[in-house]
Structure 1
Amino acid sequence: MFLRALAERVSRPWNFRTLGSKSGPYHPIIAFIIGDGETPCRSGRIIVGRNFLSKRFPGRKLSLVRVLALGVAAGAVVVGAGYGWNGFEDSRAAAAGSSGFAGYVDVTATPTYAFEQPASDEAANVVLSFIVADPADGCTPTWGATQTLGEAEMNLDLDRRIARLVGDGGEVSVSFGGLANDELATACTDPRKLTKAYAAVVDRYNLTSIDLDVEGDNLTDTAAGERRAEAIAALQKKKRAADEDLTVWLTLPVAQTGLTEAGLTAVQQMLDAEVELAGVNVMTMDFGGRPTSMLDASIAAAEATHSQVSDLYENDGRAIGSQTLWRQIGVTPMIGQNDVPGEIFTLEDAAGLNAFARDKGLGRVSLWSLNRDATCAPNYPDVKRVSDGCSGVDQGDLRFVDVLGQKITGQLDSDVPEVEPTANAAVVDNPATSPYPIWDEEVAYVKGDRIVWHGNVYAAKWWTSGDLPDDPSAAASDAAWSLIGPVLPGDKPVPVLTVPAGTYPEWSTETVYQQDDLVLFSGRALIAKWWNQSDSPQAALEGATASPWRLLKNEEVQDILAELATAGPTAEPTAEPTAVPTAAPAE
C-alpha cells in the first residue's frame, strides 16, 4: 500500500506518462519495485522487478525490508527528477516572460509634464494617471475629477500627445484610481455602465495595457472590488472576442510584511472573476516605522508579496513556479522624499532596486512620478515637503528614470505588435480635416497660437511670422514653434471661441487699470495682472511675460460664455475671436 501510494504521489505532480492496466495506474519506475503491473502482490512476499530480476537472479527473492529500502531510494530518484523537471519548466516559463519599465505621469498636475518628448529610452513608456469617476456622474470617466476625456484633449492636447509618443515607439498605459477621488467601480454601481466606462478609456486611447491603482477607501470597499473585477473580466472577454489583448496590472499598497488583508482580497476578487492578471504591482513607499533603508524595505515588501501571491494562486489551483511568479510581481517606489517624514528613496536605492529587479526577473518596475524626477529649484527651500514637480533630493545630472529603468527594456504589454515601416508620402494639409488653420508664412502669430503643417500641430512659442514650423535647421531653443503631435483621424476644425461684442471695453491708453480688469485689444480678451496705465497689451500678444496683461485661455472664455448664457444675451456676437482660439495649455 505504501509503495502504491508513493507511486501515485510521485506520478501526479510532474505529468509522467502512465499506462492503464487491470490493476490500475502503472508507473515504469515503480513497476520495477512492485512488479509488472499485472500480477497482484502475494501476501507475505513482494515480487521485485520480476521481468528484470528473474533473468539476473533466477529463483532469488528479496526481503520486505530490502524492498522498502530500494523503494524509498527509487522514490527519491523520482522525486528528485520531478523537482528537477519542475525547475527546468519554471526557468523556461520565466525566460519566456519579459520585464517592463514605465514611469507614472500625473496628467493634470501643473506644470504639464511633456511625456511625449522623452529625454531617454527609459522614459519612453508611461503610465498616465489617474482616471477617476466624475463627481457629478459616477459612471463617467475623467482625468483627476477635473476634465472629461474630451476636455483633456481640448485643454491638454492629450490624444495628440499620446499619438506622438506611440508613433515614436513608446508605450502608453492608463491607470485607474489613485489615492484621491473615487475609482470608477466605487462610484458606478451599474455593471453595464461600469464596463462601458472602462471601455471608453481603453478604446479612445487604443490601449493594450491598463493599471488598476486601488488604495484607500477604494480598496476597503469590497463591493466595489467585486464590481471592478467583474467589469474588467467582461472587458477582457470582449477584447479576446475581437482577437485583441488587454494586459491588466493590479497596483496595491504594501508594507514590509507584504499586502494588507484588503490587498489580498482585491487579488482574490480578480482571480474569482477570472481576470487574466499580468501581475501585482506594489507601491514600495510610505512604509512608516522608519525602515533601516528604503531599499531594504522595498525588497522585503516584494519578497513578502511574492510569497503571498504564490499562496493565492496555489489555493486557486494555479500553482506557479517561483521564477515564473517573479514575472508577475512589480515594484513602484516614490522617488526622493516620500509622504512619510524621514523616508527618502535615494538614487543609490534606485540602483539597488534595479539590480534586485533584474536579478529576480520582476515583470514590472515603475516610479512615482516622472513629473517629480528633477532636483528642486532654489526657490523651493523646504525639500522635506513633498512636491509634485521635484524629488526633494539633489540629483545632479542623474534622473531616477534612467537609474531605475537601466537595462529593463520591455514594455508592460509584452505583446505589442511591431509596425512595418512604410514609405513616407507627401503630406497635403486639408483645412476640412485639420483642427487648426494651415500655417501661412504671411500671417503673424502670437504666443499660444496653433497651426497645422505637414500633418502635425504646432504651437507658437512667441510672436512669429515667416518661421517654418518644421525647419530642420533650427535648434530647439531657437525654433519659434513647438511640436504638439500629429493631426488625428476624425479631426475637424476647432470652433472659434468668441464673446459678444461690448462684453468688455476696448483698451485705452488714458484709462487706469486695476488688477483683474478685463479689456478687448485687437479682437482679443485680456486681463490685467496688476495696476497699470498706458501699457499696451500688444506685448502680451507677442508672448512677453513681463507685460501687465495676460491673454484669456480658452477654458476661461468657456466659463464666460456659460455665465452669459445663464444671464441671457446682452449683445450681438462678434465675428472676431476675443481669446486666442488656439491657446496652449497653461504651464
Structure 2
Amino acid sequence: MRPTAPLCATAATSLALLAALAVTAAPAGASTASSAHPATVPPATVHAATTVPTHVFAPYVETYTGDDPATVAARSGAKWVSLAFLQTAKKGSCTLDWNGSSSQPISSSVYGSSFTKLRAAGGDAIPSLGGYTADTTNTELADSCTSVSSITSQLEKLITTYNLSRVDFDVEQNSLTNSAGIDRRNKAITAVESWAASNGRHVQFSYTLPTNDNGLDSGGTAVLKNAVANHTRIDVVNIMTFDYYTGSSHEMATATETAAQGLVDELGTLYPTKSSAQRWAMVGVTEMPGIDDYGKPETFTTADAKTVYTWALGKGVNEISMWASERDNGGCPGTGGSDSCSGVSQSTWYFSHAWEPYTH
C-alpha cells in the first residue's frame, strides 16, 4: 500500500501507480477523522499491549494524513487498527520513522496517546513497516539498512516503546525482488523473536503481501521461503485481495476466496506439519472496499463484505483488514482508487460496521 493508493497486488499494477505522492502528503478530499498531528501530543506512558484476538478486524489507518488512529477507530467502530506506515527518512538510513519523517520518530510522544486510548477502549494497533512508497524508494527498513543488528535494534525499540503484540511488514514491488533485503528482514525478525522470548514478551509477526486471484506470486513465495530457511516464525500472511490487473472483471468476494485457498495450499508446502486449520489461522485478507485502482471491473461491493465475513468466520481466518478506514464512505460515486472515499454508494463506515464483529 502507499499514501495515494493501496498496495498493489501484482507487478503489473506499477503502471497504475506512477502518480504516487510523497509519504507526507495528505490525500484529496476531506478527512473523516481528527486532523491533529500526532507529533504534537505530549509524551505519555503507553499502556500494556492487548493480546491479538484469534479473529480480528484491523483496518489500515492512513497515518500520513495526520488522523489520530484512536479517533478513527472510535468513529468507525473498529477496536483494532493497522497503522500505515513506518520507514526510513532516506535510502541508506537505519533509523525507523513514522511516514519516513524524522519529525515523527519512534517515541511515546508520537502515537503514544493513540495506543493508550485504543487499549482503554478494548482494542490496540498493529504498526506496519514498508508500503508502496517505501518499497519503491529503498526506504523500507531492511532494504535501506544493510546491518541486520541495526534492523533488529530498531524493531526492538519499536516493540518496547509501544509495548506491541504484533508487527506487520508490507512487502511489495521492488522489495519483493530485493533478495538481500528479504534475507536481512527475516534474520532480524528471527533475532527479535529470540530476544522477545528471553524477555518474556510474545510478539506476533505478519507479512502483508500482494496476491493473484489464485494465490501468491513468485515474489511473495520467495519472502516466505526465505523465512522458513531462516527459522523465522511468521504468524500471519495477510494478502492484498485487490488490484489484480488481469484485464478482466472479478467478483471480488470470490476472488478473495480463491486467492486465500491458493495461499493455504502454498502454506501446506512451506509448513508440511501444520494442519489445514492451522494454516487457515495464518491467513489474513485485506480488501479495498468499492472501486480499486484498476477500476470498475474490480469493485468490492457492500454485498461482498457480508460474503467475506461469513466465509472468513467459517474458515477460521485470523484477520480481515481493509485499505483504508478513510475510504469507508460514499462520497465519490464512480471514482476508483481514491484514498478518501470508496467510489460506491454506501453509508459512512458501512464496511467497518460489517466487519467490526469479527474481532472476538
Q: TM-score, normalised by structure 2?
A: 0.79
Supply the distance in 1 between the matched residues of 2:285 and 2:338 (Cα, whole angstroms): 21
Instruction: Identify the residue that residue 14 of structure 2 maps to in structure 1.
Output: none
Instruction: Identify the residue that residue 168 of structure 1 maps to in structure 2.
Output: 121
Supply the distance in 1 between the matched residues of 2:327 and 2:107 (Cα, whole angstroms): 21
Q: What one-letter code is carried by the residue in structure 2 that aligns with 1:107? A: T
User: Which deviations, in whole Å up to 9, do the C-alpha atoms of 1:416-464 show, x marking residues without a partner?
Assistant: xxxxxxxxxxxxxxxxxxxxxxxxxxxxxxxxxxxxxxxxxxxxxxxxx
Instruction: Identify the residue that residue 236 of structure 1 maps to in structure 2.
Output: 193
Instruction: Identify the residue that residue 185 of structure 1 maps to in structure 2.
Output: 142
Q: Does 1:393 align with 2:344?
A: yes
How far residue 332 of structure 1 moved from its aligned partner, in angstroms, is 0.7
Instruction: Identify the residue that residue 327 of structure 1 maps to in structure 2.
Output: 281
Match of 2:258 among 294, 300, 317: 300
Answer yes or no: is the 8 Å Cα contact 2:207–2:238 preserved in 1. Answer: yes
Q: What one-letter code is carried by the residue in structure 2 that aligns with 1:274? A: H
Instruction: Identify the residue that residue 277 of structure 1 maps to in structure 2.
Output: 234
Which stretches of structure 1, 4 residues or more, deviate above 4 A after TM superposition?
A: 151-154
Q: What one-letter code is carried by the residue in structure 2 that aligns with 1:313? A: Y
Match of 1:194 among 129, 151, 169: 151
Supply the distance in 1 between the matched residues of 2:70 and 2:336 (Cα, whole angstroms): 24
Pairing of 1:37-76 with structure 2 (within 5 A): none
Q: What one-letter code is carried by the residue in structure 2 that aligns with 1:180? A: T
Q: Does 1:142 align with 2:142?
A: no
Change in 2 beyond 3 A, CA 1:403/1:372? same
User: Which deviations, in whole Å up to 9, do the C-alpha atoms of 1:380-406 show, x marking residues without a partner?
Assistant: 5x7424222221111125521121343
Aligned CA-pair RMSD: 2.1
Q: What one-letter code is carried by the residue in structure 2 that aligns with 1:186? A: D
Instruction: Identify the residue that residue 25 of structure 2 maps to in structure 1.
Output: none
Match of 1:309 among 259, 267, 271: 267
Answer yes or no: is the 8 Å Cα contact 2:72–2:325 preserved in 1. Answer: no
How far residue 339 of structure 1 moved from its aligned partner, in angstroms, is 0.9
User: Which deviations, in whole Å up to 9, do the C-alpha atoms of 1:264-295 show, x marking residues without a partner?
Assistant: 11011111221221121111010122233111
Supply the distance in 2 between the matched residues of 1:228 and 1:198 (Cα, whole angstroms): 10
SS of 2:64's partner is: coil
Supply the distance in 1 between the matched residues of 2:188 and 2:287 (Cα, whole angstroms): 28
Answer yes or no: is the 8 Å Cα contact 2:142–2:182 preserved in 1. Answer: yes
Change in 2 beyond 3 A, CA 1:309/1:391? same
Answer yes or no: is the 8 Å Cα contact 2:97–2:106 preserved in 1. Answer: no
Q: What one-letter code is carried by the residue in structure 1 that aligns with 2:307? A: G
User: Which deviations, in whole Å up to 9, do the C-alpha atoms of 1:43-75 show, x marking residues without a partner?
Assistant: xxxxxxxxxxxxxxxxxxxxxxxxxxxxxxxxx
Q: Point out which structure has higher relative CO (alpha carbons under 8 A, 6+ apart).
A: 2
Q: Does 1:338 align with 2:292?
A: yes
How far residue 98 of structure 1 moved from its aligned partner, in angstroms, is 2.2
How many residues align? The count is 302
How far residue 137 of structure 1 moved from its aligned partner, in angstroms, is 5.1
Supply the distance in 1 between the matched residues of 2:348 and 2:207 (Cα, whole angstroms): 33
Q: TM-score, normalised by structure 1?
A: 0.49
SS of 2:344's partner is: coil
How far residue 263 of structure 1 moved from its aligned partner, in angstroms, is 0.7
Change in 2 beyond 3 A, CA 1:402/1:374? same
Answer yes or no: is the 8 Å Cα contact 1:176–1:183 preserved in 2. Answer: yes
Q: What one-letter code is carried by the residue in structure 2 that aligns with 1:401? A: S
SS of 1:298's partner is: helix
SS of 1:330's partner is: strand
Runs of 5+ unmatched residues, structure 1: 1-96, 411-587
Instruction: Identify the residue that residue 203 of structure 2 maps to in structure 1.
Output: 246
Q: Choose between structure 1 and 2: higher helix proportion.
A: 2
Supply the distance in 1 between the matched residues of 2:330 and 2:68 (Cα, whole angstroms): 15
Instruction: Identify the residue that residue 286 of structure 1 maps to in structure 2.
Output: 243
Change in 2 beyond 3 A, CA 1:280/1:402? same
SS of 1:386's partner is: coil
User: Which deviations, in whole Å up to 9, do the C-alpha atoms of 1:30-51 show, x marking residues without a partner?
Assistant: xxxxxxxxxxxxxxxxxxxxxx
Instruction: Identify the residue that residue 502 of structure 1 maps to in structure 2.
Output: none
SS of 1:275's partner is: coil
Instruction: Identify the residue that residue 375 of structure 1 maps to in structure 2.
Output: 330
User: Which deviations, in whole Å up to 9, do the C-alpha atoms of 1:184-243 show, x marking residues without a partner?
Assistant: 000000111111122222222111111111101111111100000000110111010001
Instruction: Identify the residue that residue 226 of structure 1 maps to in structure 2.
Output: 183
State the structure with more CA Rg.
Answer: 1
How far residue 121 of structure 1 moved from its aligned partner, in angstroms, is 8.3
